[in-house]
Amino acid sequence: MASKKETATDNAVEQKLKNLYQLQTKLSEIDKIKTLRGELPLEVQDLEDEIEGLTHRLHKYEEEIERLKADIEKKHTDIDEAQAMMNRYQQQLDDVRNNREYDNLTKEIEFQGLEIELLKKKIGEAERLINAKTNDLERGRGVLEERRKDLDLKKSELDEIVSETKAEEEKLREKSKVLEAAIEPRLLTAFKRIRKSSRNGLGIVYVQRDACGGCFNKIPPQRQLDIRMRKKVIVCEYCGRIMIDPELAGVKIEKPVEEKPKRRTTRRKKTEEED
């Protein structure tokens, strides 16, 4: 390994992979910022929609209550009119000249009486409806106020995150641009394509426990060796991600050495010599 000749091409591949991995790091950080912010705009939008819908519904309730009140007022006037008519017929009863007139008048009086009963019943129904609607309205107003408070909170949270991360994101984008410029266009395009098709946004990964760090499929020893040689760009045969030697990526991988827990029983302590 020490006798490995470092040719210009070796160096070039190494540099390519290094650049690509650095770019991946920056892009992953941008992805993280987006995820952090990602749910909040949606939550804010949901709340705004809910508030709009609720406001509309409450406005409808208000309109209905107003309509019912006007209706009740109208029915009261109708009752007054019916009552006035009844009184008039009652007076006319004193001057009836024959049975037919008497029958007609009593029928009219009876009819107006029924009419008044019906109007009163309808007023009662409308009043009950107003009560129910008023309850709904009050409950809705309570919910609306809560949602508005939620919205204010989420909005300020979002504003804070955006303002906090904006500068960081811009810096990361600047750095990414510089790195991208140093990467061969064909490789960059391939990398971007892999990144886009992968759920975690990783286009280049290192070997982790003998497996691909992207899809976690085992990598054959020969391929691992090739990756360590850094002589050509090697992709994972399962997921197509570009592979990089962890050392080149600057990642420290602890060897899975099994550390046996120290057994410090009192008995051993006694028998063991201190040194």
CB of 238 to Zn ion, least distance (A): 4
Q: Which is nearer to Zn ion, 93 or 239 (CB)?
A: 239
Q: Which is nearer to Zn ion, 129 or 239 (CB)?
A: 239
In degrees, rounded to 5, the angle at the alpha carbon of residue 207 between the alpha carbons of residues 211 and 168 is: 125
Q: Is 235 helix (H, G, I), strand (E, B) or coil?
A: strand
Which residues, 134 to 163, sit near Zn ion by CB under 5 A? none
Find the DSSP H helices in the chain.
8-93, 99-181, 185-197, 221-229, 246-249, 266-271
Q: Which is nearer to Zn ion, 96 or 211 (CB)?
A: 211
Number of shown-chain residues binding Zn ion (CB under 5 A): 6
Structure tokens at 164: 């906090």
CB of 207 to Zn ion, least distance (A): 10
CB of 212 to Zn ion, least distance (A): 3
CB of 245 to Zn ion, least distance (A): 15
CB of 22 to Zn ion, least distance (A): 20
Burial class (CB in 10 A: 0-12, 13-18, 19+), 25: middle
CB of 217 to Zn ion, least distance (A): 5
Q: Which is nearer to Zn ion, 140 or 240 (CB)?
A: 240
Q: Which is nearer to Zn ion, 33 or 203 (CB)?
A: 203
Which residues, 233 to 262, sit near Zn ion by CB under 5 A? 236, 238-239
Which residues, 12 to 51, sit near Zn ion by CB under 5 A? none
CB 257 within 8 A of CB 238: no
Distances from the Cα of 35 to the Cα of 22, 131, 143, 162, 206, angstroms: 20, 47, 29, 12, 23
Question: Edge to edge, what strands does the sheet with 204-208 contain?
Answer: 211-212, 204-208, 242-244, 234-235
Which residues, 178 to 237, sit near Zn ion by CB under 5 A? 212, 214-215, 236
Q: Which is nearer to Zn ion, 65 or 213 (CB)?
A: 213
As a whole number of angstroms, the distance between CA 188 and CA 200 comes to: 18
**Residue 161: Cβ within 10 Å count:** 15
Q: Which residues bind Zn ion (CB under 5 A)?
A: 212, 214-215, 236, 238-239
